[in-house]
Chains A and B, each alone.
Chain A
Amino acid sequence: MYRIVKKQDLAPTIKKFEIQAPLIAKKAKPGQFVVIRIDEKGERIPLTLVDASPERGTITIAALEAGKTTKKLNSMKEGDYIANIAGPLGNPAEIAHYGTVACVGGGVGIACIYPEVKAFKKAGNYVISILGARTKEGLILKEEIKEFSDELYVATDDGSEGFHGFVHLLLKKLIEEGKRFDLVVAVGPVPMMKAVAETTKPYGIKTIVSLNPIMVDGTGMCGCCRVEVGGKTKFACVDGPEFDAHQVDFDLLMARNRRFIEEERLALKKFEESCACGR
């Protein structure tokens, strides 16, 4: 059992949790994830590590309410326990000195890009962070990311803050204005990562994305998370989750992520009904 020591609202539907998990905290590196199961009847879902403190023995994760599990997770309070957390899983991000690195985060992916912003900065890179959300409320962890960024740009779909439009268009604008990037790292919804990949490809900028397929065990055992990279099947949990964006078959990933959409809707509906009764 893993105790929630701190909960923080990042946005109306995004919560951040600091959780007691000393073994994982000792090993966690940027780019890795954990698999959590909330309770005895819960499913196993992967969540990217946002932070880890070996001293406090805690890890930090962030969840966007999408289905039953994330909704239930976000309704949990400080002092509550999560039944199972396994990790850190996947390969760490390849943190090195590249020169100028763009860290692009979209939606809850902003929380996932945060540890990489920090790590790339520490490795001596010039870090340009580019964050995107639907509205300005979705621009989470802006101040924290700013602290480790040499430059920070934001985009909102509705124009409520910063650049009016999608984050890849902002990236394109920066490239066209003459910014030179040695590496682009993008984490966010699949269409956003796909758009970033398509944006950087003509310029030949090395681009890394963190893939978020459906997983079960997260240790290479089931093959649920298979993705195609460079025409080859890979297991995101053990071969990834980070891959060369220009080699990823994003359409396949999008289709595979919709596999259980009807079941997800049903589970959410049942959960919301049961919550309403409980009130």
Chain B
Amino acid sequence: MAKVRETKVPMPEQPPEERIKNFKEVPLGYTPEMAMEEAKRCLQCKPRKGKEFPPCVEGCPVNVNIPEFIKAIKEGRFDDAIKIIKDKNSLPAITGRVCPYENQCEGNCTLGKKHEPVGIGRLERFAADYERAKGFTIPEKPKPNGKKVAIIGSGPAGLTAAADLAKKGYDVTVFEALHEPGGVLVYGIPEFRLPKEIVRAEVEYIKALGVKILTDVVVGKTITLEELLNEYDAIFVSTGAGLPNFMNIPGENLNGIYSANEFLTRLNLMRAYQFPEYDTPIKVGNKVAVIGGGNVAMDCARWARRLGKEVYIVYRRTEAEMPARKEEIEHAKEEGIKFLLLTAPIRYIGDEKGWVKQMECIKFELGEPDASGRRRPVPIKGSEFIMDIDTVVVAIGQSPNPLVPQTTPKLKTTKWGTIEVDEELRTSVERVWAGGDIVRGDSTVILAMGDGRKASLSIDKYLSSPDRKWEFKGKAELKDKN
């Protein structure tokens, strides 16, 4: 047997100096030859003792049969590969781009113990892109079962639940507050990381399964959850973490200071980068500070770089503690984004017209580990300094959107504003399930999709049972893996 490649087949990428001048995707994807070459690296592991799945599948929140689809790619059976993936994952072109593989499937890869793990994410993306280029095969529609399910929010959790339930014969309607379906996939994740054309294609696939999507419906305002309960047999609430956090420091409302959500929504959903062809403007100065160290912070920084600006990531711990994916941090660095670590702003200083012109920062050192296991940043007395900047993006996290909980008094929430669910994602209100960031706070696309899948199974179980007994078992701790 030939010796296995120690490293992943490299994925062609746009070089940094080129990509910062356009808005196109950075990694370009595998060719069929590259994909087949990479697929050869898979060891085809069996489940370990006492486990249901092989290690990589154990690591996947939706349990895609990874060894099987990789085997199909290796043998050039690309149609089979996508069929195997779609059995568990309705949005593979999206997860094949934005999943944190290194902590999930690839993190569990046996090959990864000695060498680089198999490029599972790259292979998933290859299979999905192959299918999209060829045209989707729509699975045969099941017989309608006459039961109606409403899904609130068309982000990754909602779309996944919608697809799963439609495939089982449910009459599914998704309600979306914005004018375009996709949730965070359209307003949050940048074009260069997830082209909107791909999201649109995945949404079209879900519509082709028979799912209805109604935009411009703000549940809680246009129609209430209680009204929907009169019309639908079950409801899945997946309204996301759409409420930006600020630091509440002096000067934070000066002009030129955006929340990450506003910055990204203007650019991604409203296409401000194409202003004035598109009507929504964005104003970005020459020196941009992005506050925070997560994926969203990297997205904002990389957007600003593409607008031709000098960009700083300002983060109060070190790179090791950054919540962003390694790949995103690397991409940001390659693109010339500067990292100002162990630093955080304490106030913003404006000019006479109310525009931010400077920020005062303080330096930190790392102390003892905190509840999150990361070392706690401790401010250093007397280390304050002033830095000239003219745009700030505050990317320190989101909180759950309060519209549905506020207008549904019976729905139990936690002190963080997330909806309380049990291990089957049932809420305190009969026939209502919830999942994704409205339950998790601020999480990932794939975990939201995992919740969508889990809720769809529980909804199906409940609506198929003759007695339909509602059991809310009280708040459960959600694991990172489903």
Contact = CB atoms under 8 A, between A and B. Distances in A.
Interface of A: 23-24, 27, 37, 41-44, 68-69, 83-89, 216-217, 219-224, 226-228, 233, 238, 251-252, 255-256, 258-260, 262-264, 266-267, 270
A254 B243 CA distance: 24
Contact of A27 (B222, B242, B261, B354): B222
Contact of B281 (A24, A85, A255, A260): A260
B243 A220 contact: yes
10 contacts: A27-B222, A43-B270, A83-B179, A84-B216, A216-B262, A219-B177, A221-B243, A221-B401, A258-B255, A267-B276
A260 B261 contact: no
B215 interface: yes
B283 A224 contact: no
Contacts of B217: 23, 86
Given A83-B179, A84-B215, A88-B222, A219 B244 contact: no
Given A219-B177, A258-B255, A260-B283, 8 more contacts: A44-B179, A86-B177, A219-B218, A220-B403, A222-B259, A263-B276, A266-B276, A267-B275
B242 A221 contact: yes
Contacts of B275: 263, 267
B467 interface: no
Interface in B191-241: 215-218, 221-223
Nearest to A88: B221
Contact of A86 (B216, B252, B280): B216
A267 B279 contact: yes
Contacts of B218: 86-87, 89, 219
Interface in B383-436: 401-403
Contact of B265 (A69, A221, A264): A221
B253 A226 contact: yes
Contacts of A43: 270, 278-281
Contacts, number: 121
B253 A44 contact: no
Given A255-B255, A259-B283, A222 B354 contact: no
Contacts of B246: 223, 233
Given A84-B179, A219-B403, A89 B221 contact: yes
Contacts of A87: 218, 221-222
Contacts of B278: 41, 43
A252 B179 CA distance: 30
Contacts of A84: 179, 215-216
Contacts of A221: 187, 242-244, 261, 265, 401
Contacts of B244: 221-223
A91 to B, nearest CB: 10
A133 to B, nearest CB: 28
A44 B218 CA distance: 15
Contacts of B51: none
Contacts of A267: 275-276, 279, 281
Closest 10 CB pairs of A and B: A255-B354, A263-B281, A221-B242, A222-B262, A43-B279, A223-B259, A84-B179, A43-B280, A86-B216, A223-B244
Contacts of A238: 402-403
Interface residues of B, number: 40
B406 to A, nearest CB: 9
Contacts of B353: 255, 258
B304 to A, nearest CB: 17
A44 B270 contact: yes
A230 B417 CA distance: 24
Nearest to A83: B179
A221 B399 CA distance: 10
B250 to A, nearest CB: 11
B83 interface: no
Contact of A223 (B261, B271, B277, B403): B261
Contact of A256 (B178, B222, B255, B402): B255
B465 interface: no
Interface string B357-387: 0000000000000000000000000000000
Contacts of B261: 221-223
Contact of A24 (B222, B354, B403): B222
Interface string B252-291: 1101001101100110001100011111110100000000
Contact of B279 (A23, A69, A85, A223): A69
A217 to B, nearest CB: 6
Contacts of B279: 41-43, 68-69, 267
A188 to B, nearest CB: 21
Contacts of B221: 27, 87-89, 219
B373 to A, nearest CB: 30
A222 B265 contact: yes
Contacts of A219: 177, 218, 221, 242, 401, 403
A270 B354 contact: no
B51 to A, nearest CB: 40
A164 B239 CA distance: 51
A220 B402 contact: yes
B216 A263 contact: no
A23 B222 contact: yes
A259 B255 contact: yes
Which of A37, A227, A266 has the most C-beta atoms of chain B within 10 angstroms of its own C-beta?
A37
Contacts of A44: 179, 270, 280
A41 B179 CA distance: 12
A252 B277 CA distance: 30
Nearest to A39: B279
Nearest to A264: B281
A216 B354 contact: no
Contact of A263 (B179, B223, B283): B283
A59 to B, nearest CB: 12
A207 B221 CA distance: 26
Contacts of B354: 251-252, 255-256, 258
A231 to B, nearest CB: 11
A68 B221 CA distance: 28
B422 to A, nearest CB: 27
Contacts of A270: 276
Nearest to B215: A84
Which of B216, B244, B266, B277 has the most C-beta atoms of chain A within 10 angstroms of its own C-beta?
B216
A226 B244 CA distance: 11
Contacts of A224: 258-259, 262
Contacts of B179: 37, 44, 83-84, 86
Nearest to A227: B253
A219 B265 CA distance: 13
Contacts of A266: 276
A228 B253 contact: yes
A220 B255 contact: no
B280 A217 contact: no
Contacts of A37: 179
